[in-house]
Amino acid sequence: MMDEDIDKAARLLAIIYSTVKGDGAYINNEPLFTLSDCGAVRFSAPIQDRLNLPENGDLIDWAHGNIKSLL
Amino acid sequence: MTKRTLTLSSPQFTLDAILNPAIILDIDGVYTHCNQPYLDSIGMSLAEVLGRTDSEILPAKEAEIHNQANQFLLSLQSKYIAYEIPFQEPASDVLGMTKVSKSVVTASDGQITGFIALFSLNNRSYYLKIRKLFNLTNQEANVLFSLQAGLPVKSIARALNISTHTVAGHMKIIYQKIGVKSNGELNLKIAILKQS
């Protein structure tokens, strides 16, 4: 993993962990994300909501493109 | 229509999927999770790490840097920070720098509840590669990496507790081993190797 990827990976992991731990949205083991037949990533609503925040504007595209290889 | 889903069963599961060293700390800096690459990097077991803080398991200077980063994040100046920590090869005196990227974990109300950090091993691998490729001694590697870090000869001599003449002697041998005749050539060759 390149250094610039590590920055974004740490931020994305923090969002995922914050969502899972802090929001209680995953008590029923809701998937973190799903893949369509064409391979497109769809994050769960709580994670997508956090990614949509203005502060994560530079992260959202990276998250969709790299979550599969990250996890 | 979907064909695959990923469910997070535990934070440990998430960290175990990551190849780089990774840790999760609570707001007091206590380790709650870490992966095997992190344990390998510090040479400790999970039982020795969980429930402890950086100050309890890492060298004092290294722990201080991590603690300063935590304090910076707790001051709400930013939700993430990237910084470097020095590393020392086990059983040698070769120094290098490892990048750390740390982000805050927050509750639904935005309150900080902890930290997640990922560590880069790229620099460490690069240093080891260069040292092995050119058969550098530990001291020659120290001089080379200090030069690469931009330290002047006097500072290198002071840091390594040797004379400036000895530093110059190491530089001459480094040039010979790497096959260059000037610092400019050296930097160019190292930069090319770093990209490869």
Flag whether residue A28 sits within 8 Å of chain B, measured between CB atoms. no
Q: Residues B25-46: what's their mean pLDDT? A: 89
Question: How many other CB atoms sit within 10 Å of the CB of residue B66?
Answer: 22
CATH code for position B178: 1.10.10.10
Encoded amino acid at B92, one letter: S
Are B115 and B29 in the same domain? yes
Amino acid at B107: A
Note whether B142 and B49 are same-domain residues. no
If you ran DSSP here, which 8-state letter would residue B53 be given? B
Cα of first residue to Cα of last residue in chain A, in angstroms, is 13
Number of domains in chain B: 2
Is the pLDDT confidence value at B83 over 60?
Answer: yes
Residues B109 and B20 in one domain: yes
- Residue B32 maps to which CATH number? 3.30.450.20
Chain B residue whose CA is closest to A31: B7
Give A-chain residues touching B117 at CB under 8 angstroms: 10
Write the CB contacts of B45 (distance below 8 Å, at least 6 apart in sequence). B39
Mean pLDDT of B157-184: 89
Residue B1: closest C-alpha in chain A: A36
Chosen domain end from B78, B100, B120: B120
* Same domain, yes or no: B48 and B140: no
B76 and B99 share one domain = yes
CA-based nearest distance A14→chain B, Å: 5
pLDDT band at B2 (very low <50, low <70, confident <90, very high): very low
CB-based contact A6 B101, cutoff 8 Å: yes
Q: Is residue B186 part of a domain?
A: yes
As a dihedral over the C-alpha atoms of residue B184, residue B185, residue B187, residue B189, rounded to 10 degrees, the angle is 160
Cβ-based contacts under 8 A for chains A and B: 109
Helices first, then strands: H and E counts in chain B:
10, 6
CB atoms within 10 A of CB A28: 6
Q: Print the domain residue range for B72.
A: 14-120
Q: What is the pLDDT of residue B37?
A: 83
What's the pLDDT at B121? 65
Q: Does A6 touch chain B (CB under 8 A)?
A: yes
How much is the pLDDT for B13?
62
Q: Is position B144 within any domain?
A: yes
Q: Are residues B156 and B184 in the same domain?
A: yes
Residue B1 pLDDT level (bands cut at 50, 70, 90): very low
Give residue-wise pLDDT tens across range A8-62. Answer: 999 999 998 888 876 555 555 677 888 888 888 888 888 898 999 998 999 999 9
Domain boundaries, chain A: 3-70
Contact B122 A3 (CB under 8 A): yes
- Whether B39 maps to a domain, the answer reads yes
